Amino acid sequence: MKLNQTYNLDDVFTAISKASDNHVKVINEMIINKETTRAITQFDTKGMLTTSQFARVTFTRKTNDVIEGYMETSFGADGPKTPVSVIKRNRTIKANANWREFQIMNADNEVEYVITLR
């Protein structure tokens, strides 16, 4: 995504999904390859919740792991601008001994959530 260019919100979500590692796919690969740990990169959004069919996002600033900008949800160009951001997250997936439980860890090695397979 380029700075100071406006994108349809659906296009932003599609690009973020493609750029992020899919944890379900990674877990399946880990099971097949008998891996216990794998580093992944995911992108999270902040402030992009809307039901507007006119939603569009303009990114205006980029730092190391954050892209910031604003979202407009009205049809016209003079509507309110909601602050938004995309945050790059480096995470680690750790499997237990029988590959039934997977911990998703943040960069500080804290468990963010757990996925348990049946």
Residue whose structure tokens are 């590692």? 21
| CA 46 to each of CA 34, 39, 42: distance values in angstroms, whole numbers, following the listed order | 35, 23, 13
Q: What is the pLDDT of residue 80?
A: 87
Q: What is the pLDDT of residue 103?
A: 96
Instruction: Give tens-digit pLDDT for 60-94.
Output: 999 999 999 999 998 877 778 999 999 999 999 99
Q: Which pTM does this prediction carry? A: 0.82
Residue pair 76/96 in contact by the 8 Å Cβ criterion: no
- What residue ranges of the chain have pLDDT lower than 50? none
Q: What is the pLDDT of residue 94?
A: 96
